[in-house]
Structure 1
């Protein structure tokens, strides 16, 4: 490889994570300031996905992950029709504010005005990320440690390669469980709509970064954020490696609860599950609700407590 090309690829490996993350948040700032914030944010998000798709072909982490696994159509369907709709509704701040106000009257009655709305938005958003992360961490950890919840979460872990397109491969029940545990506390504290927007934006950009097949050198970012390096360990078939790094956006609670895992070696490419996931989109949604489907998902998977 020519030295100039090698130098460019090395620079991209160092700069790509902060470039995508911070440029994405900058784009979100302008999107949220406009007349059609969700539409504008969608365009920013699509741009970030496109950039990562290109980087996957310039500096892939695992060359074999560029080959099709036959799941692209399912991945896109889950991204748009299940995870995508849940996240869009969450980003718009309509899931739990709406449900709490209209359907969950006891929760609505408990709402407090404790949110520091006078703080600059960057500090409000940072606080929201930390508060929501506690719920996201435990929702994710529970999904690995309790078989009932694993039946829904296994769909996400069934992939045999990581790339930006399967970021949104989640069962709708799994997504709703995470949103519930992360957003209800913010609603009860009286967080305004824009805080939900910013939480959704951070989660969206971290999500595509953690799943992308890009050889990124994340260094000190690994100590704070959920990064591709850390998340590849989380997808490992080896349970001692896979049942770690539950953080969705930041790794604060992995550090506190002893589930942070970042050994000094390249992160795993042997990913997937030992169970079997249905082959098509609709069957993947219904599989966790049938006895035979649950048996296929759980039957060959190491027992979780």
Structure 2
């Protein structure tokens, strides 16, 4: 399928001065606000409560911004996947992230804390820079975790057995804040463990891991939002919505790029960073293969072999069940 080149919006084509300035302020402003509120909560010893409050505030803000100044108006139309998106989010965020990140990985870090606090880590002398200011520790954690996140994400595109699970996320035909958490739980588990375990093994303190989780959650929500935004130099540091929309392109030359979770450092180093200036990212996103529409079927789909997938599609069609088919 040919991609239609879309014109790049110029400043004079913005509907109003308010929307123009909001397009510049929205991303850094919302991210800074959420981080500030979370930091205040940390100072009062209630990090989880502060994170939840900030996350809900971000959801409400994006809900209204997506309707006030959408990046793609056609993405405001229902796609029949809202309930599936929410179900995936509850499964991945509620089960994988809570159980394995906070109870598992952070718990692992705490188990080794007595060792690392004496100056010895799992790999010999303690490598974690505990004397650094917390902000620098979190930035260091982002860089370390991002290396593993980059490769776990890239392999999920390049290795067929891993793509089976990751395709659930890429099967969406629109991007908006609700499908931020639309990941098969196995895909999410793989990527979370790849990103977090190295930090735990290096002896990263619990507070650093909590901050890392907050940063990833806020940027992830912003990355998938359908809000017209401008980023300037931010797109050379962070994984912004503008970059991630290219990642969801049906064209593999565009889609197999911009793998970074929070930052784009490793994309730049390994040659997978793109940020075209002559056109907008494609609005016609998705995958060029079949994906069931029902949540439970999406969970089952990656585990089926070729024959069972064929039988599944035949039975689904015979029962008149709606399916989400992508063809390019």
Per the normalisation by structure 1, the TM-score is: 0.89
Please give the alpha-carbon distance, in whole angstroms, between the structure 1 residues aligned to 2:215 and 2:14: 34
For 2:317, the equivalent position in structure 1 comes to none
Q: Does 1:95 align with 2:109?
A: no
Please give the alpha-carbon distance, in whole angstroms, between the structure 1 residues aligned to 2:298 and 2:230: 34
Q: Does 1:281 align with 2:295?
A: yes
For 2:41, the equivalent position in structure 1 comes to 31
Per-residue deviation at 1:86?
2.4
Question: What runs of 5+ residues in structure 2 fail to find an aligned partner?
Answer: 1-12, 112-120, 314-322
Contact 2:106 2:209 in 1 (8 A): no
For 2:152, the equivalent position in structure 1 comes to 139
Please give the alpha-carbon distance, in whole angstroms, between the structure 1 residues aligned to 2:38 and 2:18: 28
Aligned residue pair count: 292
Bigger shift: residues 245-254 or 43-52: 43-52
Structure 1 runs (4+) greater than 4 angstroms displaced: 99-102, 292-297, 299-302
1:8-56 CA-partner distances (Å, limit 9, x unpaired):
0101101000011111111111222334321331111011111011110
Per the normalisation by structure 2, the TM-score is: 0.83
1:183-224 CA-partner distances (Å, limit 9, x unpaired):
111111110000101111110111011100000001110100
For 2:256, the equivalent position in structure 1 comes to 243
For 2:122, the equivalent position in structure 1 comes to 110
Please give the alpha-carbon distance, in whole angstroms, between the structure 1 residues aligned to 2:176 and 2:109: 36
Please give the alpha-carbon distance, in whole angstroms, between the structure 1 residues aligned to 2:241 and 2:43: 30
* SS of match in other structure, 1:277: strand
Contact 2:109 2:203 in 1 (8 A): no
For 1:191, the equivalent position in structure 2 comes to 204
Question: What runs of 5+ residues in structure 1 fail to find an aligned partner?
Answer: 103-108
Q: Does 1:11 align with 2:24?
A: no
For 1:106, the equivalent position in structure 2 comes to none
Per-residue deviation at 1:88?
3.5
